[in-house]
Amino acid sequence: MSKDLNLTLHVWRQKNAKCDGKFVEYPAKNISPDMSFLEMLDIVNEDLIRKGEEPITFDHDCREGICGTCSMVINGRPHGPRERTTTCQLHMRSFKDGDSVTIEPWRAEAFPVIKDLMVDRGAFDRIIAAGGFISVPTGSPQDANALPIPKESADLSMDAAACIGCGACVAACPNASAMLFVSAKINHLGHLPQGQPERYLRVRDMIAQMDAEEFGTCTNHGECEAACPKGIKMENIARMNRDFIKASLTYRPATTGGGGAG
């Protein structure tokens, strides 16, 4: 049985998007090393509530590493020090007794702070809405094997689809660029036959929306890939660039008339 931990937290407190924020120090006492990082914050919050203070607001949902909701930069790294780990799956055994822990929100112009550690990631939703979908005629489902898909394409698509949209890539990027997220969403459709009809429209629409949201641009540092809890590869960004170049070189202005059956 390992010993309980006593930590000092430096937490970003910000009332709302309009107010300035600041770091506030809180003690976290008698923390079991088996707790998750979020459970540790729950304990700190219970203590704050008992004392009549405002608890620390943070995003969380599934607490099993698949929803992408939990979002905080812990000691300068999104989701904390462990690779391929979301904050909810980060356990306090990753810290030592007496450690000082700085907790900050994702910081990006496109992710305005709602309160404390909670940011508005609606920009991601709007990027998806701009093109991260396929249009299919509805009706009864076709046989699963009607469309042959090479194993490699299915694997690459699934690797990209592992993206949970948490925003750690933006948080880790020195330029607050969203290109790892956008490229994952473009490629998980772009590798499959179902994604082909809108492939080149999609890449232009989603990049246009990404730019309109005022994310930064990729300078190929690789911090996103290192921070991604799902191991999304930078190769996706290169493939997105390739699709974008092709789309920009070959798109036709929308045609009118023509094409009718007469």
Partner 1 sequence: MSVAEQSIAGAEARGHGFLASSVGRKVVMAATGVVLFGFVTVHMLGNLTSYMGAEAMNHYAEFLHTMVHGMGIWVFRAVLLTAAGLHIWAAVTLTLDNMAARPTGYRAQQNVASTWSSRTMRWSGFILAAFIVYHLLHLTTGTVHPNFNHANPYANFVNGFKVPAAAGFYIVAQLCLGLHMWHGVWSCTQSLGLAHPRYDSLRRTFATGLTVLVVGVNISYPIAVLTGFIH
Residues that bind partner 1 (CB under 8 A): 10, 17, 23, 73, 75-77, 102, 104, 107-110, 112, 122-123, 126, 129-130, 172, 174-177, 179, 201, 204-205, 207-223, 225-227, 234-235, 237-245, 248
CB-nearer residue toward partner 1: 148 or 253? 253
CB-nearer residue toward partner 1: 8 or 64? 8
Segments in 113-178 forming alpha helices (H): 122-131, 151-161, 168-172
CB-nearer residue toward partner 1: 8 or 220? 220
CB-nearer residue toward partner 1: 162 or 226? 226
Distances (CA, A) of 93 to 72, 96, 99, 136, 229: 18, 7, 12, 48, 18
Planar angle of CA 20, 69, 51, nearest 5 degrees? 55
Q: How far is the CB of 177 from partner 1 (least distance, A)?
A: 7
In 3-state terms, what secondary structure has residue 114? strand
Q: How far is the CB of 79 from partner 1 (least distance, A)?
A: 12
Rounded CA separation 34/51 (Å): 26
CB-nearer residue toward partner 1: 49 or 212? 212
**What does the block give as tokens for 183?**
């490229």
CB-nearer residue toward partner 1: 174 or 197? 174
Q: How far is the CB of 231 from partner 1 (least distance, A)?
A: 13
Q: How far is the CB of 214 from partner 1 (least distance, A)?
A: 6
CB-nearer residue toward partner 1: 76 or 197? 76
Beta bridge partners of 10: 25, 102
Rounded CA separation 163/146 (Å): 27
DSSP H or E stretch at residue 8: strand 5-13
Q: How far is the CB of 140 from partner 1 (least distance, A)?
A: 31
Q: How far is the CB of 61 from partner 1 (least distance, A)?
A: 23
Beta bridge partners of 13: 22
Give the number of C-alpha atoms closer than 13 A to the C-alpha of residue 237, restricted to the C-beta side: 18
**What does the block give as tokens for 61?**
């949902």
Q: How far is the CB of 144 from partner 1 (least distance, A)?
A: 29
CB atoms within 10 A of CB 154: 12
Rounded CA separation 200/182 (Å): 14
Planar angle of CA 185, 178, 212, nearest 5 degrees? 100
